[in-house]
Chain A
């Protein structure tokens, strides 16, 4: 039997790695399956390089579409001409890095994938532990840079949602199911991004005298309020991302046609 951790000399001699009687494994298992499914799905979509545009909708994995190989109608459709792989790869690393270094997702993968710890008061299976003190995990400290990029991307995705109010022919005044999905996705992404812990630090978390910075304090108060639900927004936006992309996939691959509520 191990002689470290809870089995170290001097501590109460108890063989069990945990004495918890509830189904503590359920949550890490659920998170593991959900995140794995997401990674598999997005890898398929990102690498495929196909079925990402169906006017007026563009899949968020491909927006902005930066290579000249992008399909007709996508924006800006350049300027990168030497890129031969899926244009998604030029931007998909941004949300990937953002979510990977997110404080909530860190908790999620440390628990569910790395079992460090699998659940509270359940012994982890590793003999040594150094936390986030070494490469590569120490880079998580640069989460704020991922936030800056994600904020820029959010502006683009919001524009995409606005453009989804145009008819496939380009006239303003259109409302399809896709318009609603893209809008909902943009809203979810803003909530997720603005409730970020780094955003909280930037608004005013890093200062000591709130009273000297009333505007920043106001912003901090707002961010703090939504920050309490950061985990919820992380999951909601993950779902809307998949939904929005999959809807565009279904349209672009001709499997369904858009449900149109209104068209000018």
Chain B
């Protein structure tokens, strides 16, 4: 069944722009990205849109559909009614380049600031031995497709441009959590998590988790556990003293201060 659907698509660049109205054919089984492509093919050949896999795996087509961060290729048209006006905008946290394409380099800058995985110096690659239960936790985070919708929706930067210098967003705090829980990593990342990546900005309101297309429990399994690990070291006087006398000492070396990106 084909029907004509009404769309409002944001067109513009970093100086100006607005929502423009279109009517586009929709066929059964289609997703929002199909419609954007049809729009490009029939009415707006200069419409800029970033995409790659059309399978929810490359993380390129992040945008906002009816105000919610979504992968356009994974948003089925049958989730809307036929008379609904569907609004498509670029992500609203990152600078816009043109139309639906944003400049996500904030994320790359933050990614570079995360201290790299540091296995023990005397361990040759190929000699890594880890128990399955020890790596399981961090494996969940490896599902990330780097769509950056979590960083886009996080109000700490979405609503406060000035925090972009001090806060790395859920994506990279999750990366720090992943490495901090890694059984072979020799670096203690709890200090940089707070001082360089702004863990304290997160008020665990869980929007990152709500939008993640990979359904990673970012808040429950990465951010809160990281906050608790930080509390062990930084805020909990009794635990800090007790751990000085503990048999299983934490032998990790603190991560070096991060070069500011």
The answer to whether A and B interact is: yes
Give residues in A with beta carbon < 8 Å to B. Answer: 4-6, 8-14, 16, 18-22, 103, 106-107, 110-111, 116-117, 120-124, 126, 128-133, 137-138, 141-144, 197-198, 200-201, 205-212, 217, 227-228
Task: Report whether A20 and B66 are in contact in the complex, using a CB–CB cutoff of 8 Å.
Answer: yes
Q: List 10 A-B contacts (CB under 8 A).
A: A5-B161, A8-B161, A14-B19, A16-B67, A18-B67, A121-B67, A121-B207, A123-B159, A129-B160, A132-B200
| Cα distance A206–B227 in the bound complex, in angstroms | 10
Task: Report whether A205 and B228 are in contact in the complex, using a CB–CB cutoff of 8 Å.
Answer: yes
| Cα distance A231–B64 in the bound complex, in angstroms | 28
Residues of A near B230 (CB, < 8 A) are 141
Task: Report whether B87 and A142 are in contact in the complex, using a CB–CB cutoff of 8 Å.
Answer: no
Task: Report whether B93 and A116 are in contact in the complex, using a CB–CB cutoff of 8 Å.
Answer: no
Residues of A near B203 (CB, < 8 A) are 106-107, 110, 116, 131-132, 137
B253: Cβ under 8 A from any A Cβ? no
CB distance from B258 to the nearest CB of A (A): 17
Residue from the set A8, A12, A142, A144 with the largest chain B CB neighbour count within 10 Å: A12
| Cα distance A219–B122 in the bound complex, in angstroms | 33
Give residues in B with beta carbon < 8 Å to A. Answer: 10, 12, 14, 16-19, 64, 66-69, 84, 87, 89-90, 92-96, 102, 131, 133-134, 153, 155-156, 158-163, 180-183, 185, 198, 200-207, 210-211, 220, 224-225, 227-232, 234-236, 239, 248
Task: Report whether B207 and A4 are in contact in the complex, using a CB–CB cutoff of 8 Å.
Answer: no
Task: Report whether B133 and A227 are in contact in the complex, using a CB–CB cutoff of 8 Å.
Answer: no
| Cα distance A106–B160 in the bound complex, in angstroms | 20
Query: How many pairs of A and B residues are in contact by the CB < 8 Å rule?
Result: 169
Residue of B nearest to A21 (CB): B66
| Cα distance A82–B200 in the bound complex, in angstroms | 41
CB distance from B91 to the nearest CB of A (A): 8
Indicate which residue in B16, B162, B227 contacts A13 across the interface (CB closer than 8 Å).
B16
Indicate which residue in A4, A107, A208, A212 contacts B181 across the interface (CB closer than 8 Å).
A208
| Cα distance A200–B224 in the bound complex, in angstroms | 10
